[in-house]
Amino acid sequence: MRNLELNGRPPGLADTHRLAVTNYGHFTSMQVRDRGVRGLALHFARLADGNEEFFGWRPGLDDEHRLRQLILHALGDAADASVRVSYVPGEDPAGPPDVVVAVSDPVPDEPGAPLRVRTDPTFRRDWPEHKHSATMRQVRARLLARAAGFDDALSIGADGLVREGTTWNVAFFNGDQVVWPQAPMLKGVTMVLLQIAMSMRGTPWTLRPVPATELPDFTAAVAVNSNAAAREITTIDDLAYSAGDKLAELIAETWRSVPFDAL
């Protein structure tokens, strides 16, 4: 951790205690490169929607400007970093929420080792359309997957549809196009940016319900989030995907075409 600020200042002991014991709020995570962020407007829109849903408060243009300044202040002299912006209940219940900006070292641009994933029909994120701080179910699902010899877990809904990973969206390839599952889940900023870029580049893709029974029909799968736009998935349960590296290369190339927005 490089820096942690609450409303633009270091949190005191009472603040730290309040933050540690309150499991309510929402956040967004972003990779900063040369003081720029891909999809900055989408991150701000996610936070605005979260503030309305969690706190009944819709920020205005002045608040967006303030948020930019809080991020830049927490970054200090750093040009590259990982940044998490969280909104948490303020000390005044009638006032706006507090803003927490956490700055840590940037995640390497390399996607990391391929994943071995197991499906989990019991894993569900509460309030799945929001990126919130109640992450116990994700942590539990990942721990159970690792105990079973896998790296991570993939949620399968009660309707039998593929949803999302613990902290990532999933994309498949069926030989003709990239397939993104449509289900109750978080619309990751990286996923949305990739879909836009694929359309602009003429890459065939679709968003549709994906039954778990269809998993054997795909040739490749990747995990997608702000830390790794294209992390190859080599296996799901006992299924092996032979073309995962090619899909990962396709999505990584697409990701490199997405421009950065200046903070």
pLDDT in tens, 39-65: 999 999 999 999 999 999 887 778 899
Under 8 Å between Cβ of 203 and 254: yes
Position 164 scores a pLDDT of: 98
Name residue 116's beta-bridge partners: 235
Separation of alpha carbons 63 and 48, rounded Å: 10
Name residue 249's beta-bridge partners: none
DSSP E strand boundaries for the chain: 3-6, 26-33, 36-37, 81-88, 98-104, 115-120, 152-156, 162-165, 169-173, 178-181, 205-208, 220-224, 231-236, 239-240, 261-262
pLDDT in tens, 68-95: 999 999 999 999 999 999 999 998 878 8
Under 8 Å between Cβ of 36 and 143: no
Please measure the distance between the N-terminal and C-terminal CA atoms of the chain and give it in whole angstroms: 20
Q: Where do the domains of the chain lie, and which CATH numbers do they carry?
A: 3-104 (3.30.470.10), 115-258 (3.20.10.10)
How far, in whole angstroms, is CA 173 from its chain's centroid?
A: 21
For the chain, how many residues are written? 263
Position 31 scores a pLDDT of: 98
pLDDT in tens, 100-152: 999 999 999 888 899 999 999 999 998 999 999 999 999 999 999 999 999 99
Under 8 Å between Cβ of 169 and 186: yes
Structure tokens at 97: 């929420």
Position 62 scores a pLDDT of: 85
> Among candidates 132, 125, 137, 138, which has minimal Cα distance to 55?
132
Position 87 scores a pLDDT of: 97
Position 111 scores a pLDDT of: 87
Name residue 180's beta-bridge partners: 207
Under 8 Å between Cβ of 217 and 241: no
Under 8 Å between Cβ of 241 and 220: yes
Separation of alpha carbons 165 and 116, rounded Å: 12
Separation of alpha carbons 83 and 244, rounded Å: 29
Under 8 Å between Cβ of 225 and 190: yes
Claim: this prediction has a pTM higher than 0.85: yes
How far, in whole angstroms, is CA 254 from its chain's centroid?
A: 18
pLDDT in tens, 196-221: 999 999 999 999 999 999 999 999 99
Structure tokens at 8: 């633009």
Separation of alpha carbons 134 and 219, rounded Å: 34
Q: Mean pLDDT over residues 174-183, rounded?
A: 97
Mean pLDDT computed over every residue of the chain? 95
